[in-house]
Structure 1
Amino acid sequence: MTIQNVAFLGLGVMGYPMAGHLARADFTVTVFNRTPDKSVRWCDAYRGRRSETIAEAVSDADVVMMCVGDDNDVRSVATEALQAMKPGSVLIDHTTASATIARELFSKAREHDIDFLDAPVSGGQAGAENAALTVMAGGEAAVFNKVKPVIDSYARHSQLLGHAGSGQLAKMMNQICIAGIVQGLSEALHFGQRAGLDCNSVIDVISKGAAQSWQMENRAATMLKGEFDFGFAVDWMRKDLDIALQEARNNGSTLALTALVDQYYADVQKSGGGRWDTSSLLTRLD
């Protein structure tokens, strides 16, 4: 199948630039957002059209991408889209949601002769804006290979990791890793400040060794300045960690550190930092 017509449902901080990259790649793009003014702004910035309804947006699409809020949003939007999508088309969910909803939608899509991939992303707003996202996909290989050229419009790397739900499980692993790394970095910076060290200089040194991480490279400087009004919000991280912790209860895995850091993020929320970047864990220690 030659893919030309695509639809993007959900123009949040991730979806807005992702849909923009599709337009730049010369796909014929139709967008939908529950708040219409975002669709209007998107059409002012990019070549494409907007639809007033999900059904109108997806009816002629070869591939439909969605990036919304949580499981309930995913189920609501996807159910409406599947009713209007044409047979043989593909629905790709880029939302970070549960593996349960991914498996559910895979089965529902099959009933409509539509293919489905769960494909959460990592890289944050900057990754979306710079077409540098990492996409973790679950589904069938033939479907993934068919839509990979579309995904490549906004991703620097995408990979199929297994059957339906595998993409979401991989994203849970991603968030588990980040939670521990950010807490460790926060404690290191707190320790260094109390010890009277020039932490910027220390970070310059240790970032060249085994302690290096994306968080250290991209967040240490702003953490030391006390700047947290940007990036991936604590509220969103707690949603993601809750998904991971629920899955851990289902599969019998032990996530002691993740559960602890989740409670630390709850402390940040209580202090009014729900919309702060996840690196705001440092504020608990200060």
Structure 2
Amino acid sequence: MAKLAFLGLGVMGFPMAGHLMAKGHEVTVYNRSPAKAEAWVTKHGGTSAATPKAAAEGKDVVLACVGNDDDLRSVCIGPDGAFAGMASGTLFVDHTTVSAAVTRELAHAAAGMGIGFVDAPVSGGQAGAENGVLSVMCGGSEADYARAEPVIAAYSRICRRIGESGAGQLAKMCNQIAIAGLVQGLSEALHFAEKAGLDGEAVVEVISQGAAGSWQMANRHKTMLAGHFEHGFAVDWMRKDLGICLSTADEVKASLPVTALVDQFYKDVQKMGGGRWDTSSLFARLRKLG
């Protein structure tokens, strides 16, 4: 069992940190809003700290799951950042979905202090975090990954090293690119079924057992048909992720025409007031269009 710190207690981090505690690790948490950290301690035990530095002091591994590039920098560097409290030979594991550029920047800074760094973005959503069955894609040295993997096992169904620093983030971009196309395709299929006068539930029951089946179809078609989108992974966060994908595509000279189009469809959903709706709300956009 290890001495751990977990930074960021949002819809993903809160249950992930809870799984670490349940596995017998010694866990100290930090959250930008202290009330969330206090609520976590009340539910799971452990302790909370007022700053990332204080949370990281004396820990073997520090994990983070925050919002974006700037949020990650803020918990890592500076006088109150986690790096300032970490000793040489310790390990930082980042579960945030961020750019590969900031990952490499922070991994380089950590290396200069003798701190290992693994980028380990996750897929599986809030339900995956709560049930401890996330898919985790990692970048970093083989040695650092070997130290991180037994800790990550507390909330993962699969965890794999993809390559060197930044490779985990690049793999997460592949994940989001695939999801964008899948959700739009599912939305169009359900929209077509409605317009054609078909029973959407009956259609999905049949086609989900064939080549069209997907996680999105199995887990989102019921709420889509019901017009319920107040759950899941928010459109605002998806647009953040797709922005990273599209920017990186320019850098590596990849062509992402469908991703770029779906990103604009999500922009339409934001204009409808659905920034906090689940990504499956692409269906709501089609319903509005008629």
**Which band: TM-score by shorter chain?**
over 0.9
TM-score normalised over the length of structure 1: 0.98
* Displacement after TM superposition at 1:146 (Å): 1.5
In the aligned structure 2, how far is the partner of 1:50 from the partner of 1:73? 19
- 1:220-256 C-alpha deviation (Å, 9 max, x unpaired): 1110010100000000000000000000011111000
In the aligned structure 2, how far is the partner of 1:40 from the partner of 1:220? 36
Show the counterpart of 1:250: 251
Secondary structure in 1 matching 2:225: helix
Show the counterpart of 2:35: 37
Residue type at the aligned position of 1:24: A
Secondary structure in 2 matching 1:87: coil
The answer for unaligned runs of 5 or more in structure 2 is none
In the aligned structure 2, how far is the partner of 1:175 from the partner of 1:92? 21
In the aligned structure 2, how far is the partner of 1:166 from the partner of 1:54? 25
In the aligned structure 2, how far is the partner of 1:276 from the partner of 1:244? 21
* Displacement after TM superposition at 1:145 (Å): 1.0
Show the counterpart of 2:228: 227
In the aligned structure 1, how far is the partner of 2:225 from the partner of 2:9? 32
* Displacement after TM superposition at 1:199 (Å): 1.0
Structure 1 stretches of at least 4 aligned residues deviating more than 4 Å after TM superposition? none
* Displacement after TM superposition at 1:47 (Å): 2.1
* Displacement after TM superposition at 1:67 (Å): 0.6
Aligned alpha-carbon RMSD (Å): 0.7
Residue type at the aligned position of 1:4: A
Show the counterpart of 1:12: 10
* Displacement after TM superposition at 1:167 (Å): 0.3
Secondary structure in 2 matching 1:83: helix
Conserved in 1, the CA contact under 8 Å of 2:5 and 2:27? yes
The answer to whether residue 135 in structure 2 is matched with residue 131 in structure 1 is no
In the aligned structure 1, how far is the partner of 2:248 from the partner of 2:286? 29
TM-score normalised over the length of structure 2: 0.97
* Displacement after TM superposition at 1:51 (Å): 0.7
**Aligned positions of 1:59-70 closer than 5 A:** 59-70=57-68
Secondary structure in 1 matching 2:117: strand
Conserved in 1, the CA contact under 8 Å of 2:13 and 2:65? yes
